[in-house]
Amino acid sequence: MAIILQVKDLVTKFYTLDGVVNAVNGVSFELNEGETLAIVGESGSGKSVTMMSLLGLIPMPPGKIESGSASFNSEVGLCDLLQLSPEEMREIRGGQIGFVFQDPISTLNPILTIGEQISETLIRHKGLSKEQAREQTIKLLSQVGIPDPELRYKAYPFQFSGGMRQRVVIAIAIACTPKIIIADEPTTALDVTVQAQIIELFKELRDALGVAVIWITHDLGVVAGIAERVLVMYGGRPVEIAQVADLYKSPKHPYTLGLLGALPSLEAKESKRLVSIKGTPPDLLIPLKHCPFAWRCDYAFDRCWEEIPPLISVGDKHQAACFFDIEEGGPHHD
């Protein structure tokens, strides 16, 4: 499988009146063609800022991408997303990289019809004529499961329910047959039955179009059903990367272990007490010299307070940023 996106050591900071917010502190990952990678983390873990940095959507100032690279294997060859000019970025964003955000009502323009908004993408990126774009839009609408697409072409966003609006946003994302779709909490604002519909739709489209998906979420339940690999983030750093089955079966980072323990199980007959992670997430205003999870971690020992653990290999395609081997019950041997 060819790598389509390789992110290396991305660091993004925000210079605010309160101080420097260390939002993303060195994120590296790769995305293969047609693969679904989930990025999981709680609020403030840096998962959204990572994606905004890649898409060139960080407001600068106060934001600043301090270092890193993101080489994207585009149609015209390799390019570094972080070095592109705003014009070049606009060509890629919405074209070769589609995106779906959490809240469809603020993504869509309330005073343009659904049809105009989808056509716009096609005209802008593919150079279609208005008539061609209209035809293509109607096809897209039916592809994302909107009934009566010809009628709905002329509808406005307020006439749609939340789930239908998210379908429209997905239609825009896939309009130019992108190589990557970045979906930032696409189902969080939706009800559980509608969430299930959208997840199914994503899976269908992914398989039909062969597009790679980066799925950002805080919900480990959703991840289990859609992702092939998972990146867990904490305090602006990746703490674990693994194939989905390995992550759930044998989590190697204490934070991942805690997150999984905090989820109630639907199958259990007797409810066990939930495992809670003590304390609260780190304050990103303070630059850390040690493991960001140390003060919430039951396994922390001297070394965890002295240096930041790097990602190390702990199994087949499985990396974790922890000095402690949970299964062995002691520090990793170097």
Partner 1 sequence: MTDVKKLVEVINLKKYFPIVGGLFQRTKRAVKAVDGISFDIYEGETLGMVGESGCGKSTAGRAILQLHKPTSGQVLYEGRDLTQLSSAELRAQRPDMQMIFQDPYATLNPRHSVRKIVGEPLVINGKMKKGSLELKDKVAELLELVGMDPAYMKRFPHEFSGGQRQRIGIARVLSLNPKFIVCDEPISALDVSIQAQVVNLMQDLQEQLGMAYLFIAHDLSMVKHISHRIVVMYLGKIMEMTDRNTLFDDPLHPYTQSLNSAVPIPNPEIEITRTRFILEGDPPSPANPPSGCVFHTRCPLVTEECITVEPEFREITPGHFVACHLANTKGGSKIFMPDSKKEAS
Residues lying near partner 1 in the complex (CB under 8 A): 42-43, 161-164, 191-197, 199-200, 218-225, 244-245, 248, 258-267, 269, 271, 273-278, 280-281
CB of 223 to partner 1, least distance (A): 8
CB of 277 to partner 1, least distance (A): 4
Query: Quick check: 212 and 202 in contact, CB under 8 A?
Result: no
d(CA 314, CA 247): 11
By three-state DSSP, how is residue 308 classified? coil
- Beta bridge partners, 22, equal 13
CB of 296 to partner 1, least distance (A): 8
DSSP 229-273: EEEEEETTEEEEEEEHHHHHHS--SHHHHHHHHTSPPSS-SSPPP
CA 315 to chain centre: 24
CB of 189 to partner 1, least distance (A): 10
Instruction: Between 98 and 235, name the residue whose CB sits nearer to partner 1.
Output: 235
Give the tokens for residue 237: 């750093």
CB of 197 to partner 1, least distance (A): 6
Amino acid at 268: A
Instruction: Between 263 and 286, name the residue whose CB sits nearer to partner 1.
Output: 263
Radius of gyration of the chain (CA): 21
Q: Which helix or strand (DSSP H or E) is residue 27 part of? A: strand 19-32
Amino acid at 183: A
CB of 125 to partner 1, least distance (A): 31
Query: Quick check: 153 and 115 in contact, CB under 8 A?
Result: yes
Instruction: Between 85 and 193, name the residue whose CB sits nearer to partner 1.
Output: 193
- First vs last C-alpha separation in the chain: 31
CB of 283 to partner 1, least distance (A): 10
CB of 143 to partner 1, least distance (A): 16
Amino acid at 162: G
CB of 158 to partner 1, least distance (A): 13
Instruction: Between 171 and 259, name the residue whose CB sits nearer to partner 1.
Output: 259
Instruction: Between 150 and 204, name the residue whose CB sits nearer to partner 1.
Output: 204
Instruction: Between 200 and 306, name the residue whose CB sits nearer to partner 1.
Output: 200
Instruction: Between 57 and 196, name the residue whose CB sits nearer to partner 1.
Output: 196
Give the tokens for residue 314: 């702990």
Instruction: Between 46 and 95, name the residue whose CB sits nearer to partner 1.
Output: 46
Query: Quick check: 53 and 12 in contact, CB under 8 A?
Result: yes
Query: Quick check: 46 and 233 in contact, CB under 8 A?
Result: yes
Give the tokens for residue 89: 């970025």
CA distances for 262 relative to 220, 237, 286, angstroms? 10, 21, 27
Is 46 exposed, middle or buried, given 0-12, 13-18 or 19+ CB atoms closer than 10 A? Answer: buried
Instruction: Between 80 and 200, name the residue whose CB sits nearer to partner 1.
Output: 200
